[in-house]
Chain A
Amino acid sequence: MGRVTQTIIRKKRVLPAAGEVFVKKGEQVSPTTIVAKGKVRNPYIQGIRIDLKLGVDAASVKPYLLKKVGDEMKKDEVIALRRSFFGRTKICRAPIDGSVEAFLPLSGQILIRGAPIPIEVNAHIPGKVVEVIPEEGAVVEAKAKSVEGVFGIGGETHGKIMLTVERPDEALMEAAIEEEHRDKIVVGGSTVTLEALRRAREVGAKAVIVGGVDEKDLTTFLGYELGFGITGSEALGMTLILTEGFGPSPMNEEIFDLLRSFQGKLACVDGTTQIRARMLRPEIIIPLS
């Protein structure tokens, strides 16, 4: 079940690949402060059969290539060209922005990797930069209350805490969610109904924190079966954190009282869960200063 701790939190905020760091040691940052920006390798690869485009054998393609492995290209740029004896020219154009990943001579193919994708990492929590990691990011420190949940979906977000129920054993119903919950971290009690989840997303709530949810409702909300307990990358536009587990279950009173006492204050939450690999549980961070 979920648990509360008060601690000095140090968050390592780094890019997955080398980039530029925009903060300095000792600097005060907010959750939205950009710590670092960079570009990551594009996972998209497209293959083109050059032999078919030029009308030659696969083994004869190489002399007609205008690009070699590693060369960059723009969409529609000519990347292979064959002038025939009778003046008719056959060309092959780049289908996307990217670079040549590989040439496969046996199949007359080149593989083009999409152009690198820009990414940035923010501070996620307000605090002080206590360490700068060159080309990667920084470590942000803050005094905070921290709650470890049991399961979550959706990634990092932040907003002001807003309770929708009076008691930890009360269910969060659709009718309790209104426009005023936009950009808020909505706190329910024992469970949240499917309709309430949909309504929370519709009004633009940043996150919902409750004791439990019916697994069937969550499956319907997600649109697919959960499978393994690895979450965090769901593009739902909202984060959900369960403090107790699946099914209606009154929220731990300590957690409920903490969230109630910090109503209107900032909470930085992350639904990312990895049950097995790294035993990563969702977290709610309430900064104290």
Chain B
Amino acid sequence: MGEKEEDKIIIAEIGAAKTKAILIKAKEGSFILEAEAEAPTTVEPPELDVTKGINTVVRRLEKESGETLWGDKGPKVKLFCSSGDTGGLYMVVAGIISMISKESAERAALGAGAHLLDAFSKDDKRPAYTLVEAMRSTRPDIFLLAGGTDGGAVSQVLELATIIAKSDIKPRFGEGYKLPVIFAGNVEARKEVSETLSEDKYATTTVPNVRPDIDRENLGPAKEAIYDSYMEHVIVHAPGYDKLAHMVKGQIIPSQAAIGKALYSYAQNRGINLLAVDVGSSTTDVYSVYNGVFNRSLNADVGLTYGILNVFKTAGVDAVSRWLPYELNEREVRNIAANLMVLEPEKLTPEEEEVRNAVAREAIKLSVELHKRIASRLKGIVIRREIADTFSQNIEETYVDMAKTQAIIARGRAFEGPEETSALILLDALEPVGITQIMYDLESLVPHAGLLLDYDKDAAIKLLSERILKPAGTFVCPRGKTDSEGALTIRLKRSAGSLVSEVVPSGEIKAISLGVEETAELEAIPSGRLDLGRGRGKTVKSIVTGGSLGLVIDARGRPLPPPKRDQQQKWLLALAAAKGGA
């Protein structure tokens, strides 16, 4: 029986510099990844037509797979697309109270993959008269206005709408079209808000409230409205996207939204909590799923090239330098970092790599701190604290809890080096506690899986689990410190039947061979003062899976002691000791 065109799907992610596409084919009731290819993105001059890059990348997929995929009028098979930096989504949000409606609006915008240019509120610390100019200077793609619970405040929402109206905010792609404003606030203010935002300046749509009650958040409709506006008003203004819109199946969504969808579904499918970091050139994204709640934050200030000096500016030179394996004076460190920014070298010298890795740790730390504010319980709710809550984390402000994080996923240039280096960056920056799996998106294919989700969820999850996410291994990390020998006793029973028993001294890292597709029964017995997330000295039993580094016990303690320069190499060797089943 011949293959049908319906059996083949092309999924493309249009990045700032590269367009990366994969071809997947139906096989035995599911989809398999048949080929992948890259081509330069063609949004900038001289091409100024994104479809040229799409055409090139599809031709390369044809060559790779031997299939005919491109016809006279474009792709002959289904094409799904997401767009990164070039066609990225730039938004401004506003709400009445910064910690309530503004924060919900921020979560909706960030969750939809937006780059947040600014956020305004009635309790903004900036003087009211500066807001008009601040709003005018933003030039976003979409404005999301929230405020007021349903049946609550109207006049303050209207005052914000008046400021938006007076500001005459122009959209990023010029004055030829109206700026889309999505109102996701008090349902009773819809009519007046729409009237206040004049039709000749703004394309206003109303959607259900992001904060219908003080104790309930409803981000879905706002996110959908953002996707609609992005497709209808924004992306078509980037060169060639109008043509591309006719070639694709469904919507073109921001790549960050596709990543978020993939990670959320993956966590839900496995029933786990997950934290993901994406350390890019100019920004650092953090995604999390805790107890089924998805959040994304974007630290637009820190990255590994364009945003590198902002890491120094925010964290300080000493904070970065402490992670270097050897002494470099401040001038050398600053010069190396500044050159990473201005020269953006393709190939790094060993010193540049070390500085980049040190910066990556601080960029992750800064970005996760920011994420904790976004991934937080709803503010404005009165919580009665009982005596029993005094030492409990049940009413912690943020959902992010490393002891309850079953998986860490990392992507971005910081993780392109050896697996042990990437793992050490994550262990140092995130300090996971308990039993945590670490995985990498080395080929940058998570957005592709996110695009496949709506078409075939099972296939997308399978693609993520079996092909895209490369497991470094399972990491066992006790919290607390102990001076006693034998900090952690490990008993590992492999699925093949062999038994391993190890005593890992306090302050050490130890790797035990456990292959990528191997599982084992783990029994971890911490000494009295250590805690694997279940309480001090409590034994933890779990089924664990392996990875390129195997099963790793990081008994350096939590919080981590200050790094020592001569230990970096020791940790890397320890992490790589069982690499590839050694």
Contact = CB atoms under 8 A, between A and B. Distances in A.
User: Which 8 interchain pairs have the tightest Cβ spacing?
Assistant: A47-B129, A247-B335, A246-B338, A102-B166, A215-B334, A225-B313, A215-B338, A246-B335
B129 A111 contact: yes
Contact of B309 (A46, A111, A212, A228): A228
A215 B335 contact: yes
A275 B306 contact: yes
A227 B309 contact: yes
5 contacts: A101-B166, A151-B342, A228-B306, A229-B341, A246-B339
Contacts of B306: 228-229, 275-276
B330 interface: yes
Given A106-B158, A245-B343, A246-B334, A225 B132 contact: no
Nearest to A46: B129
Contacts of A109: 128-129
Given A214-B335, A215-B335, A228-B310, A104 B342 contact: no
Nearest to A214: B331
A227 B341 CA distance: 10
A45 B133 contact: yes
Contacts of A46: 129
Contacts of A60: none
A229 B338 CA distance: 9
Interface residues of B, number: 34
A193 to B, nearest CB: 12
Contacts of B162: 104-106
A43 B338 CA distance: 32
Given A106-B158, A246-B334, A276-B306, 19 more contacts: A46-B129, A47-B127, A101-B132, A102-B132, A106-B155, A107-B128, A111-B129, A111-B132, A150-B342, A215-B337, A216-B330, A226-B309, A228-B306, A245-B335, A246-B338, A247-B331, A247-B332, A247-B336, A275-B306
Contact of A43 (B133, B309, B310, B313): B133
B87 interface: no
A272 to B, nearest CB: 14
Interface of A: 1, 43, 45-47, 101-102, 104-107, 109, 111, 150-151, 212, 214-216, 219, 225-229, 242, 245-247, 273, 275-276
A102 B136 CA distance: 13
A214 B132 contact: no
A229 B282 CA distance: 11
Contacts of A227: 301, 309-310, 313
Nearest to A152: B342
Contacts of A105: 162
B264 interface: no
A276 B127 CA distance: 31
B163 interface: yes
B47 interface: no
Interface in B109-137: 127-130, 132-133, 137
Interface in B517-550: none
A127 to B, nearest CB: 24
B159 interface: yes
B90 interface: no
Given A106-B158, A214-B331, A228-B309, A275 B166 contact: no
Contacts of B301: 227-228
A23 to B, nearest CB: 28
A245 B344 CA distance: 11
Contacts of B344: 275
Interface in B307-342: 307, 309-310, 312-313, 330-332, 334-339, 341-342
A45 B130 contact: yes
Contacts of B307: 228
Most buried by A among B137, B301, B309, B337: B309
A94 to B, nearest CB: 14
A45 B335 contact: no
B280 to A, nearest CB: 11
Contacts of B312: 225
Given A45-B132, A47-B128, A107-B128, A247 B339 contact: yes
Nearest to B329: A216
B355 to A, nearest CB: 12
Contacts of A45: 129-130, 132-133
Nearest to A47: B129
A247 B352 CA distance: 13
Contacts of B310: 227-228
Contacts of A276: 282, 306
A150 B132 contact: no
A104 B341 contact: no
B128 A246 contact: no
Contacts of A247: 331-332, 335-336, 339
A226 B133 contact: no
Contacts of B342: 150-151, 229, 242, 245-246, 273, 275
A97 B128 CA distance: 20
Contacts of B133: 43, 45
Interface string B283-300: 000000000000000000
A1 B339 CA distance: 11
Contacts of A226: 309, 313, 338
A102 B159 CA distance: 12
B360 to A, nearest CB: 18
A1 B343 CA distance: 8
B156 to A, nearest CB: 8
A107 B332 CA distance: 54
Contacts of B282: 276
B572 to A, nearest CB: 27
Nearest to A151: B342
Interface string B139-165: 000000000000000010011001100
A246 B345 CA distance: 13
Contacts of A1: 343
Nearest to A1: B343
B147 to A, nearest CB: 13
Nearest to B158: A106
A150 B159 contact: no
Contacts of A275: 306, 341-342, 344
